[in-house]
Amino acid sequence: MRAVVKDRSGRIIEDTGWKKTNTLTKNFYAFLRAAMGATNTSVVRDDGTTGTIEAPNGGAHYFIWEAAGEENDAWGLVAGTGTTSPTRDDYKLESKIPHGTGAGQLYYYASGVVYGADYIEVRRSFGNQSGAEITINEVGLLARYYDVDAGVYQSALIARSLFTLSIPDGGIATIYYRISG
Q: Is the pLDDT of residue 21 over 90?
A: no
At residue 60, the pLDDT reads 79
For 45-88, the DSSP string reads: -TTS-EEEEPPSSS-SS-SSB--PPTT--SSEEEEE---SPP-T
The pLDDT tens digits for 84-140 are 999 999 999 999 999 999 999 999 999 999 999 999 999 999 999 999 999 999 999
Q: Is the pLDDT of residue 22 over 90?
A: no
CB 124 within 8 A of CB 156: no
Q: Give the pLDDT mean for 25-38.
A: 94
Task: Tell me the C-alpha distance between 76 and 66, whole Å.
Answer: 4
At residue 58, the pLDDT reads 67
At residue 14, the pLDDT reads 97
At residue 62, the pLDDT reads 85
**Is the CA virtual torsion 136, 138, 143, 148 positive or negative?**
negative
